[in-house]
Amino acid sequence: MALVRAQDATSSGNFPCRYEVFLSFRGEDTRKTFTDHLYNAFVNSGIQTFRDDDELERGEDIKPGLQKAIEESRSSVIVFSKDYASSKWCLDELVLILERKRISGHVVLPVFYDVDPSDVGKQTGSLEKAFAGHQKNRSLNKDKVNVWKAALTEAADLAGMVLQNEADGHESKFINKIVKKIEGKLRRNPLSVAPYLIGMDHRVKEINLWLQDGSSDVGILVVYGIGGIG
């Protein structure tokens, strides 16, 4: 599986994170269109983003690498499209994302792409057809199907963004709004700074000696620190 990412890994908040955004989407619906444009918009904004770029047919169970990517992401953007619920893989991803949200404060932003949020929450419309197929599948446990339904209902109740008609909805503007929304949500999380700044002891001693010096000479004091702090 090829992992597409914006930049190298970083850490933020109370949990070690490699990515700022995990993209969940139905590949057959939006991989080469909306989701590709959204991913590139995140990258161009400097947002570290995980996207599963595996075009091969997926198995029944979610791969450990995807679960790890969710756990190592600060947020998830879920692109609900008309056929999202027809993918067992996508539904398993959704369950993992919401579990992560409950235990770690993981930010979740649902994006409803040409699908009504009420259809997602109530499993009506195109989602009704998808679940009719799941319920006929004898290899699927009924409890698992119910977990998927509950996850969709929970996600639909979250504050999300809706684009129902891409022809009239100015898709590029909509994508920019998503990027701004994620930027705003991620900035609210406090920046984690180490309690001790490595290599600063020598600098502090020099400053103290300079302050204690009785010389009347005037000089320029330059203090180097971590960029963006102070």
Q: Which two structure tokens, joined as six digits, stand for 37?
A: 């444009």
Element (H, E) at 49: strand 49-52
Cα separations in angstroms, 120 against 155, 159, 194: 8, 13, 43
The CA–CA distances, whole Å, from 147 to 21, 61, 139 equal: 24, 15, 16
- Helix ranges (DSSP H) in 80-229: 88-104, 117-122, 126-136, 142-156, 171-187, 201-212
Q: Active site includes 93?
A: yes
d(CA 154, CA 117): 11
The Cα 181–Cα 41 span in angstroms is 13
Catalytic: which of 93, 99, 154, 171?
93
Determine the Cα–Cα distance for residues 49 and 61; give it in Å rounded to an integer. 23
Residues involved in catalysis: 93
